[in-house]
A = this chain, B = another copy of it.
Amino acid sequence: AGDAAAGKGKAAICAACHGADGQAVIPGYPNLKGQNELYLVNALKAYKNKERTGGNAMLMQPQAAMLSDTDIENLAAYFSQMQ
């Protein structure tokens, strides 16, 4: 499982769109707070692998491409554990 504290250190760029509290302020952007951890891992990997297109996927593909698999696990831990 990921390291939530390490994830927090990588999450500043996420907060720009998904909210510092994990509640997105922009219509069309998902809330991440308390989301299922494995789902977040799978979603980020799907963006990284360009398996998600359509919608706003073109925004997320380059973000996810900058993340290592460890970064992805840590970010998923951070957002899934957010109260």
Copies in the complex: 2
- The binding surface of chain A is classed by DSSP as loop
A42 to B39, CA, bound (A): 17
Q: Which residues of B contact A54 (CB under 8 A)?
A: 42, 45-46, 49, 51-52
A27 to B37, CA, bound (A): 8
Q: Which residues of B contact A37 (CB under 8 A)?
A: 27
Q: Which residues of B contact A70 (CB under 8 A)?
A: none
**Supplied contacts A27-B38, A28-B38, A46-B54, 12 more A-B pairs, CB within 8 Å:** A24-B39, A27-B37, A28-B39, A29-B39, A30-B35, A30-B36, A31-B34, A46-B53, A51-B52, A51-B55, A52-B53, A52-B57
